[in-house]
Each structure stands twice: as C-alpha cells, then as structure tokens.
Amino acid sequence: MESLNVFLTGERGVGKSTAIARFAATLDFTPAGFRTFPLPLEGAGRDCVCIAAYGAPPGDLAVPGQGNGVVAIRNRDAFKMEVFPAAFDTVGARVLREGRSSGARLVVMDELGFMESGAAAFQEEVRLCLGADVPVLGVLKKALPPGGFGGGNARTAFLESVRARGDVRVLEVTEANREKIFRQLCEMF
C-alpha cells in the first residue's frame, strides 16, 4: 500500500506550520516526527533555530536529554547564519527513526529546508519515512526561481529529490487558500 506523503510550501509566514498544528489538534493522538522553531538569544537580532520531537515543549536547551538540538544560530541584523548539521543527524534522525519504527499513525516534518544539506543521516531517515507505510505531513521550504534571492537556497539536491518523488504531493499555501488547505488536510488524512 502506498502511503500518503503531503508537503505544504509557500511564502514565509503564510500559515504552513499553523495549518499543520491546527490539523494535529483535531487528532486523537500526537503525531511522531519533528518541528523546528526559533528561540531568542541574548543580544538584539539573534536567535537559535532548534529541532525537537513534534508535540514536545521547547524545554531547556542547557539540560542534556531534553531531546532538543540547536541546528543554527542566526544573526538577523547581519543576515548571517551558522548551521549545525549534527543536530539534524542526531535529534532529527532519531525522532524520525522512532516514528517510523514505533507504529506511529502520522509523521510530521516541519520543516525541510536548506539547513539539512549537510545532514546525511537525517536525509536518509526522511527518505525511509517517505517510503514507509506511515503517512507524512510536512513543510517543504519553497523553491526559489533560479537566481532567486531570499530565505536561503531552497533548491538543494536533497529538497529537489523530495519534490521529485512520485509518492509526494506538494500543496502551495497562500493567504487566500490557507483555510481551504486546512480543510483539505482534514479530508486527506
């Protein structure tokens, strides 16, 4: 049986993660998988991007064993980012592997973007999840037109390989259709 693999894409801030969170709130179980989220750092214009198991609270990143990992440090004022692929290869790969092997009813991947380019173990777990019997619902960073600028390079080999899979459906979210997309998710899963 071919599994349902659906990714939402669209402009930053349009409501992709919100649509997934709204849909997940309608379920009678907590999905497996991961989410990425920002946490502020001391100093204006700086934050870190973290990865954690979907549904888990952010926790205290200074406490070992909380299941979180810092995947990047961003300096928004200088438009610079330092990426740490090892967090994807440890925390991200682990939560995907657990979701794939635990009998999960849904795996969430929020979000796949350019930061995972150097995370081979994580990329392999994504491929294994997409080929497994468990449905996947995720966010896929929007591909910029060739030569496009902004929001990181979303035309990496990894992201293009996900987009090109025959078992993946990509839905574009806009302000005009985000409520319709939410309803579609409720009907599809």
Has this prediction a pTM greater than 0.85?
A: yes
- Integer Cα distance of 141 and 109 in angstroms: 11
Q: How many helices (H) and strands (E) does the chain have?
A: 6, 8
Strand 5-10, strand 136-140: pairing: parallel
Q: What is the mean pLDDT of the chain?
A: 87
Structure confidence by residue, pLDDT tens digits, 50-97: 898 998 876 554 444 444 588 988 887 777 889 999 999 999 999 999
Q: Enumerate domains of the chain plus CATH numbers.
A: 5-35+85-188 (3.40.50.300)
Contacts of 35 (CB under 8 A, 6+ apart): 17, 51, 52, 54, 108, 110, 111
- Integer Cα distance of 162 and 62 in angstroms: 33
Q: Which residue has the higher pLDDT, 53 or 127?
A: 127
Structure confidence by residue, pLDDT tens digits, 135-152: 999 999 998 766 555 555
Terminal-residue alpha carbon distance, the chain: 15
- Would you place residue 187 in the very low, low, confident or very high pLDDT band (cuts 50, 70, 90)? very high
